[in-house]
């Protein structure tokens, strides 16, 4: 008899097996997240095909919730006093890491494809990182200290810088495409106004909501 598992049953099975996989890899000195990744590879589209792309789309809300918890965990660890103690070095690390990734990937993609727009888009995506793995390992080992604080800061602000870079780089790529098509209107500076306004409004709205929520929490 062939049993057909519902999506909810497969999620439950994956969570249960994930707990065992995490504990198993811990016995050989590896963080639990390695076990989760290996199990995901085995159960995913690469091997057993228990989860297909349609399943992943239906479960996308779980990813959003998990990333929300990750972002909250990062924010909960970051304080102004901690950032001040880290000094200017943490800002330099974040900026250099982000801009270096953008420039390096853009140059390499341009050398391969010869397409400036493609190079800019791929380069703008390069600074983005997935902070979940970093946060999971730090929390699992209960790491404390300057290095852990630096990692939290880099993981938290890195994606923020990546969003800023993508907004401006995408606007530049759009202007180049319009110019090539002969329908460009306005200068490059005018094309950068829209993403600048959106980012500024997002910062203002986020700061206002953060202030209100912090007041409510007290």
Q: What is the pLDDT along the chain (218 residues), one digit of tens a residue?
A: 344 568 888 888 999 999 999 999 999 988 998 999 999 889 888 888 888 888 888 888 888 888 888 888 887 777 778 778 777 888 888 889 889 999 999 999 999 999 999 999 999 999 988 888 888 888 888 888 888 888 888 888 888 888 888 988 988 888 888 877 777 666 677 778 888 888 889 889 988 998 898 888 87
Q: What is the pLDDT of residue 25?
A: 92
Both tokens of 170, joined, read 């995408």
| Residue 70 and residue 131 in contact, taking contact as beta carbons nearer than 8 Å | yes
Q: What is the pLDDT of residue 77?
A: 76
Q: Is 166 in contact with 103 (CB distance < 8 Å)?
A: no
Looking at residue 113, what is its pLDDT?
A: 93
pLDDT of residue 76: 79
The string of DSSP codes covering 90-154 is HHHHHHHHHHHHHHHHHHHHHHHH--HHHHHHHHHHTT---HHHHHHHHHHTT--SHHHHHHHHH
Q: What pLDDT is recorded for position 122?
A: 94
> Rounded to the nearest 5 degrees, what angle is found at the Cα of 29, between the Cα atoms of 28 and 32?
95
What pLDDT, on a 0 to 100 scale, did the predictor assign at position 185?
62
pLDDT recorded at residue 39 = 92
Output the pLDDT for position 102. 93
Q: How far is Cα 43 from Cα 20, in angstroms, rounded to an integer?
A: 14
Predicted pLDDT of residue 84: 80
């Amino acid at each position: 008899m062939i049993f057909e598992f519902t999506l909810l049953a497969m999620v439950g099975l994956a969570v249960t097996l994930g707990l065992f996989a995490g504990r198993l890899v811990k016995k050989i000195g590896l963080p639990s997240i390695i076990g989760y990744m290996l199990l995901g590879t085995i159960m995913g589209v690469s091997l057993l095909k228990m989860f297909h792309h349609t399943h992943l789309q239906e479960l996308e809300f779980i990813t959003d919730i998990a990333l929300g918890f990750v972002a909250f965990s990062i924010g909960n660890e970051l304080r102004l006093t901690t950032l001040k103690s880290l000094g200017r070095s943490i800002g330099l690390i974040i900026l250099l890491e982000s801009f270096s990734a953008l420039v390096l990937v853009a140059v390499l993609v341009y050398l391969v494809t010869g397409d400036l727009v493609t190079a800019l888009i791929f380069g703008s995506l390069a600074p983005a990182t997935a902070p979940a793995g970093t946060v999971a390992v730090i929390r699992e080992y209960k790491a404390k200290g300057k290095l852990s604080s630096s990692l939290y800061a880099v993981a938290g602000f890195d994606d923020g810088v990546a969003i800023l870079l993508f907004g401006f780089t995408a606007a530049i790529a759009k202007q180049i495409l319009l110019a090539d098509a002969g329908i460009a209107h306005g200068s490059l500076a005018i094309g950068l106004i829209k993403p600048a306004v959106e980012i500024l409004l997002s910062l203002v709205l986020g700061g206002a909501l953060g202030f209100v929520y912090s007041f409510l929490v007290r």
